[in-house]
Amino acid sequence: MPQTIASAVQHELVIKKSRFIACVQPMPDRAGAVKIVAELHAQHPGAAHVCWALLAGGQSAAVDDGEPSGTAGRPMLDVLRHQDLEGVLATVVRYFGGVKLGAGGLVRAYTDSVAQALLTATKIPIIKLRQLRCTAPYAMEGMLRRELDAAGASLDAVEHGDDVRFTFSLPASAADALRARLDEAGHGRIGWPSDVDDEDGDQA
């Protein structure tokens, strides 16, 4: 099961006088990652490189920022993938110490920086949510609310018209069972106008 991390974690390595300042933090998209990287450039004007890797579905990225191609961003991304993470940004600010590390040394430095930071991370599973909509007679509103509460569903909206319209979310793995239970409890009087099937990477 894919996981994200609860909060940002940091670690600093010094290798042959070069400083590698790593941070791994939750990040859902590339726009947010680019903003964070720009802030790091502003905070560290004397740094030689600000390399980063984002693992966020189709928005994933690996940026070497002037380091030899494939020696920074890609190794950092590989660490995130190997730990089965999703929705996370890894950044490493490097201050050059005057001694070249070579391609292999750079790969190890960037890999170790991110891996060491993640040793202190609290990982949490990403639970896919499914959103459903249903309608029910007013007489069944109380029963429906109780069933949703018992199932741990999140009530997103309730509309009162000719009948009561509920929009609610719950883990995708539990959606079909709850729908079947509501059909049985409602004796066929609960309608299902549409399934939203909105799968969010919600953190539990």
Query: 129-186 — its CATH code?
Result: 3.30.70.260
- Which has the higher per-residue pLDDT, 199 or 143? 143
Q: For residue 198, what pLDDT band results from cuts at 50, 70 and 90?
A: very low
- Which has the higher per-residue pLDDT, 199 or 105? 105
* pLDDT tens profile 131-185: 889 899 999 999 999 888 888 888 888 899 889 999 888 877 788 888 888 888 8
| Residue pair 93/55 in contact by the 8 Å Cβ criterion | no
**Single pTM value for the model:** 0.67
* pLDDT tens profile 1-39: 678 888 889 999 999 999 999 999 988 888 999 999 999
Mean pLDDT along residues 92-96? 94
Buried b (16+ CB within 10 A) or exposed e, 49-69: bbbbbbbbeeeebbbbbebee
* pLDDT tens profile 44-91: 999 999 999 999 888 889 999 889 999 999 999 999 999 889 889 999
Percentage of the chain surpassing pLDDT 70?
94
Query: 40 in the Ramachandran plot: left (φ > 0), alpha (ψ -120 to 50) or beta?
Result: alpha
Query: 3-125 — its CATH code?
Result: 3.30.230.30
Q: What sign for the dihedral angle of Cα 94, 97, 103, 107?
A: negative
Q: Domain limits of the chain? A: 3-125, 129-186
